[in-house]
A and B are shown apart, each in its own frame.
Chain A
Amino acid sequence: KRFAVQGEKWKYTNLTWSLSSSRRPSQLDPHVTRSVLARALDVWQQASRLTFTEVNSDDADIVVSFAKRYHDDAYPFDGRGSILAHAFFPGSGRGGDAHFDDDELWLLQPKNDDEDGTSLFAVAAHEFGHSLGLSHSSVKGALMFPWYQGIQPNFVLPEDDRNGIQQMYGSKETERKWGKIPYYRPIETPPPTTTTTTTTTTTTTRRPYIHHHHNTHQGHHPNHRPYTPYPRNPNLYPKYYPEKPSSPERPTYPERPTYPDRPSYPDRPSYPDRPNYPDRTNVPTYYPERRHYNATEEHPRRNHNHYPRPTETTTQTTTYRPRYPHIRPEYPTYPRANSPSDPRYKPHYPVKTTAKPRLTPTRAPQHTTPAPDKPDACNTNYDAVALIRNELFIFKNKYHWRIGASGHYPNYPIEINRMWTELPRNLTHVDAVYERPDRKIAIFVGKELYLFDSQYLVTGYPKRLRELGLPESLEKLDAAMVWGHNGKTYFYSGSVYWKFDEDVGRVELDYPRDMAMWKGVGYNIDSVFQWKDGKTYFFKGRGYWKFNDLRMRVEQERQLPSAPFWMGC
């Protein structure tokens, strides 16, 4: 029985926190709430080298928010009672955040526990343990014990929790003995002159790091000031506030290049006149004139041999009718304007080259000036990217590009529903596309899934997303792929993802899960697919990440621009 370290930890020790501006407690005073949260963080600060600074931004490391029931993560609340709150382990985006059930009756001042209500301080201190990387502990009385135990008036962090946090971040004593350890996030004071520092200046303005030394714990220090969080009075602490840098002049950009005039084209070749059609007067008719038979005459149709065979000598005066009416007589052939012998011959189909297929797509046809609503291949993000029949399809708005072994197909992008005609006629975009293991093509448009067997819509489709086991509230998918690493299908949307069981046709039960699992790609991706090289590529905005399946993280933090590599711009 001892504390448990989950595995994730913060890379630095001067952390920031904030109370979410959009999800505040509906029944508590925000100012008093913030002071209780600050005290809960101080419990961990006193026991380790960590420091916590409140900032007024939702970009803080630890964002505290209050929500009810389902609040678009994998841990819905359940109203008053039972589940009180939860928090995420350290990481980017949602990592470190703590969510509290707004249906609970939160107590801001510790009272004795037999009354109704739950101490916010006790629960916050526990959740911040998760935010720092600690899992639940089975030691009864430990702060990280999963069940609520109330709070003692003179609360001191139990030993089990102290051991846990000091194993991860070191203790204050070591800091006093050895000085600051490189885990401290440097305070950036940019030199005012170079333009590149403009961006770092931006960083600075976003997060002035002020080393507070909280002494609120006892609250009875002779020169203790009441806790007045950020922003502080700059006159009082001049040396902590760097001067606001004056923004440098905008750089002047060179004039746009002027394009050369269009080349004048040679006159169009004159074609011979159209041939006039042969006269039709002596074309044999296929059917005899209709004859009327009076009552006494025998009607030929009544006895079956009323059609004399050509070999039979007949004395009838009806004209000869061939037995196979659908064979037409030969018409004169027209001079073919573009037969190979004609010097003006230009083949109208792509000429197959025998060049070796290249892995990287070739340049998109530059000479085509896109139609006004067509996306510019070299300056766009993508709605979906998929490998279908070993060819790369890139979707944007209602168009798509197609890149085969010999590079870009000419005359692309074309409209998506020219290839998949049974998609909605007023299609504006697709959300996700992937080729299933059974080689059918799944195209997600909003809340619907269209399944195609090559170009043909499979009966029973489109289907609603909820039929796949996805939540009714889900508006759309961001991406879908079959992950080569384990051959399973994954759906992505917002900050969560699902694993889809192709055999059952529904997502697996213990999903959705948080996107933090796919380290480095963040939330709200545009697309993901498995390329021919067996690597996984995530797309977001105009860039992409190459993903390392074994290490479950992107190969490099910075995105690479998509246009040069995938569109050959």
Chain B
Amino acid sequence: VANSVLFPCTYAFSGCHITLPYNEKVDHEKVCKFRPYPCPCPGTLCKWLGSLEAVVRHLTNEHDHVITLKGEYIIFLATNINLIGGFDWVMMQFCYGFHFMLVLQKQENRNGDQQFFAIVQLIGTRQEAEGFVYRLELRRHRRRLTWEATPLSIHENIATAIKNRDCLNFDTGTVQLFEENGDLSIIVSINMC
């Protein structure tokens, strides 16, 4: 009986007008663009939830360390890369009418081993993210390390992608090859595909 009745999306209150059978409702709600989004800023334990349109405004107003740079081809210069402990370097890149969050995360385990993870997340839906490809590149002294992938969407979790190593992943030895005076340059390019 439930499958013969159309149910409104749970996020109708924030503007979704879709009605669908019960067995399709859960899948739709996972990707519904009217779903409230958590703050994507890593490492801050921010509890904010809001609409997709409000995410960038929230990041700009409440996380003022997050700088935005315009352009599809930029250099993300992570400073003090050799600090001991866990750190995040976070910024936003604005191009093609979209904001992309760029994250470099350094994790340190109990043995003092350090791992670095760099990833790009679109402040947009999965469907919008699939229209882009990002490239992260380390370059120095004729060495080059490149990662290319589809950006995560706001529906996807950076922590999960890092856990799965679905990002640019390198260790301290690699940092020593590419850093300059304690700063690491990551060349970021975003293209439409």
* A and B held together in a complex: no
Query: What is B's interface to A at a CB cutoff of 8 Å?
Result: none
Query: What is A's interface to B at a CB cutoff of 8 Å?
Result: none
